[in-house]
Amino acid sequence: MSSIAAVAPMSLDVGQEEEDALYRKVIFRIVPLFFLGFIISYLDRVNISYAKLQMATDFGLTDATFALGASVFFWGYMLFEIPSNLVLQRFGARMWIARIMITWGIVSMCMVFSSNSTVFYSLRFLLGVCEAGFVPGVMYYTNCWLPSKRQSGMYSLFLMALPVSIVFGAPISGAILDLMQGVGGLKGWHWLFLLEGIPSLILGFVIIAFLRNKPADVKWLTEREKKIIESNVTVEAGHKLSGIGDMLKCGRIYLLIITMIMFNTGFYGLTFWMPTLFKNAGITSSLQNGLCTAIPFGIAAISMRLNARHSEKTGEQRLHGTISVLLGAIGLFLATYFHENFAFSLAMLSVAAAGILSLMPIYWTLPGRILSGSAAAAGLALINSCGSLSGIMGSLIIGFAGMQVGMYTLAALLLGCAIMFYIICPPRVNEIKE
């Protein structure tokens, strides 16, 4: 099969402009659905940080209880990540990703029944089980359409949903908490979970209607375009690990896992605790808190896209990723050290968020360079599931060590991540190390 694919591009005589136009078409068709999916998934995942502001008084949700409840989500997510992605690979992305979105929307809405810590923990765990497989599923799906050298730009569009979900979700969540308090006899945080769970249900059915599993299944590509895409992916797959056993023996996979745990711990620690940080600084209004939270992540969204585009244009990845996360570490350290100066601290939190998020789209191209087929499905899920430990660590470090010590710890992890990423990432996209 690989020998046929190897000559296909030559026989097709594909020019650079034609190929660029083809992949722009692919991105235009694929990105919007998954972009919305990422926005909704991260909003449903972190809206607990805003609900906490009211839940703390309604049933005694302490910082320690919140930290444990926030982390329990990732236990369910981690345990079911690999099985979920293997099911997706076998039965197709369309129905499985739709199933993920519909079930997590239902469970997210059921968070209104949290009346004590036991129910709160149980629903958070179930939410993680339902959402397991979404992120690595999207990454695996992308590997079936695009070669590695074209993935960072596409990933930057997908992953911009993280800061965008916070930029818009933070003030929306704050407004719901303030404006819907007492409406229909429900608390503001009840309405938060109900209203923010509905979009996931709707998008699940939209995905069933519009998403297709592979290029051969779509009607918006010509036969020639389908052959170009399949040929490019197949040629690249010939140089990758395809078996699960080979993937498990690959040392670079475990270095990628360590790297992800480091930068994701910083991201989740910042995401879960930023509203509390602003509240401690005197921002008492939920809406104002959300608006302040939106600033760092709005800047991060722009930074992520520009950094990924420049990296893809130049073909250089090592410095684009290393410098970004190093700036994230410095920003978080300075924001903590000068926490009494609100304006400077907010500026440094913006640097921290931009640095962490600018690494992500570059990082996610690395597994796709060495994995394909079952190895890609299992490997991406393994990396992301182990990376879910960062959600546990990010919430617990600050919850139990305190805000200041916790933030310094996150900054130290980001510094370690910068060193690790420099070691494992080849300088240019065409230099693949196995």
Rounding to the nearest 10 degrees, give the CA dihedral for residues 92, 96, 97, 98: 120
d(CA 135, CA 141): 10
Would you tell me the crossing angle of helices 373-387 and 389-401 to the nearest 10 degrees? 10
250 CB-near residues (< 8 Å, 6+ apart) = 241, 370, 434
What is the structure's pLDDT at 7? 38
What is the structure's pLDDT at 8? 41
Quick count: other Cβ atoms within 10 Å of Cβ 324? 26
d(CA 105, CA 40): 9
Q: Which residues pair with 371 in a beta bridge?
A: 241
**For every one of its 434 residues, what pLDDT tens digit does the chain have, with 9 covering 90 and above?**
333 333 344 456 777 788 888 888 888 888 888 888 888 887 776 677 777 777 777 777 777 777 777 778 878 888 888 888 888 888 888 899 999 999 989 998 998 888 777 888 899 899 889 988 888 888 888 878 887 777 777 777 777 877 787 777 777 888 888 888 888 888 888 898 898 889 999 999 999 998 888 888 888 988 988 988 888 887 776 667 667 787 888 888 899 999 988 888 888 777 767 777 777 777 777 677 777 878 888 898 899 889 988 888 888 889 999 999 999 999 989 988 887 788 888 898 899 999 998 998 888 888 877 777 777 777 887 887 787 777 677 767 776 777 778 888 889 999 999 999 999 888 765 544 44
What is the structure's pLDDT at 428? 65
DSSP tally for the chain: helices H, then strands E? 20, 0
Paired tokens of 239: 């140089």
pTM score above 0.75: no
d(CA 94, CA 113): 31
Full DSSP string of 235-271: HHHTTSB-SHHHHHH-HHHHHHHHHHHHHHHHHHHHH
Give Cα 94 to chain centroid, integer Å.
Answer: 19
d(CA 270, CA 411): 10
What is the structure's pLDDT at 321? 92
What is the structure's pLDDT at 46? 67
| pLDDT tens-digit map of 133-163 | 888 888 888 878 887 777 777 777 777 877 7
Q: Indicate the CATH number for domain 14-424.
A: 1.20.1250.20
What is the structure's pLDDT at 172? 81
What is the structure's pLDDT at 360? 87
